[in-house]
Amino acid sequence: MTGEFRDVLLAGVYNVRDLGGLPQRDGGTTRRGVFLRGDSPHLLTAPARDDLLTQYQVQTVIDLRSTRETNLHSSPFAHDARVHYVAAPLQTTGVRMFDLRQITQLHLYYQHLIRTAHAPLRRVFETLADAPATTYFHCRIGKDRTGIVAAMLLDVVGVSADVIIDDYLQTTANIVPLIAQYAHERPFFIRKSLYEGLFEARAETIQRMLCYIQQRYGSADGYLHHIGVSDRHVTRLRTKLGT
């Protein structure tokens, strides 16, 4: 269902895959080459960057990382004239950094972003709708903020919750190399085992997010309308990714 045939294998990234090739509830299949979800491209080699833009025809890059993250690891596309680079940081506000419940219970973190990050999420979905060619959207490891956006995109085009969860779970195996890469960024007040556990994609996390959206907004469509995304943009997303 969500096997390796969707993976984008490039030197310097580990968790990039096409949202195309997934079954929809109406019997269709999501279109390939429209949206790529992934991890931060700051370590992409020059040939890999060229491949992303030529072989995969990426013309728009949406960076979901915080300003702190982009300051630490700047995007190679931020000043690349070949692409439209959009910084849309999904940063948490009102989260107490020493409150481990808020930080480590990821379904609460997801819900918090959904409730508070209306403006950047609106910009993300409008950019996804308006982009003329393939769009690559990413955060740091391509799991949480990227997972939220990917899940809503797939829900909008009628992909079932089981398939969305399956796509989300693929991240765990992909990002094993990133655990060591980001080990030095572990906050001192979070023990090593707990920090490494945050790199695991769990079905319950994304399932609870989908249920939260369903209960509070009716659907991903309802959420997008709630944050100000127009009917035109929602229709465009459905037309671009759906069949």
Determine the 3-state secondary structure of 70 from DSSP: helix
185 occurs within a structural domain: yes
Tokens (6 digits) for 97: 């950094």
Query: Cα–Cα distance between 166 and 108 in angstroms, integer?
Result: 20
Does residue 98 carry a pLDDT above 50?
A: no
pLDDT of residue 3: 46
Give the global pTM: 0.93
| Helix ranges, 118-159 (H) | 118-130, 145-156
Determine the 3-state secondary structure of 58 from DSSP: strand
DSSP 157-210: TT--HHHHHHHHHHHHHHTHHHHHHTGGG--TTS-HHHHHHTTS--HHHHHHHH
242 occurs within a structural domain: no
Residues 6+ away with beta carbon under 8 Å from 231: 225
205 occurs within a structural domain: yes
Does residue 93 carry a pLDDT above 90?
A: no
241 occurs within a structural domain: no
Percent of the residues in the chain that have a pLDDT greater than 70, as a whole number: 93
Under a CB-based contact definition with an 8 Å cutoff, are residues 89 and 67 in contact? yes
Active site annotation includes 211: no
The domain in which residue 144 lies consists of 4-235
Query: Cα–Cα distance between 181 and 175 in angstroms, integer?
Result: 10
Percent of the residues in the chain that have a pLDDT greater than 90, as a whole number: 79
240 occurs within a structural domain: no
Residue type, position 89, single letter: P
Q: Which run of H or of E encompasses 80?
A: none
Catalytic residue among 48, 83, 139, 165: 139
Tokens (6 digits) for 16: 């990039």
243 occurs within a structural domain: no
Number of domain units in the chain: 1
**Matching residue, tokens 């030095």:** 184
Residue type, position 4, single letter: E
Could you tell me the CATH number of the domain that includes residue 71?
3.90.190.10
Under a CB-based contact definition with an 8 Å cutoff, are residues 23 and 163 in contact? yes
Q: Is 14 exposed, middle or buried (0-12, 13-18, 19+ CB in 10 A)?
A: buried
194 occurs within a structural domain: yes
pLDDT tens by residue, 138-157: 999 999 999 999 999 999 99
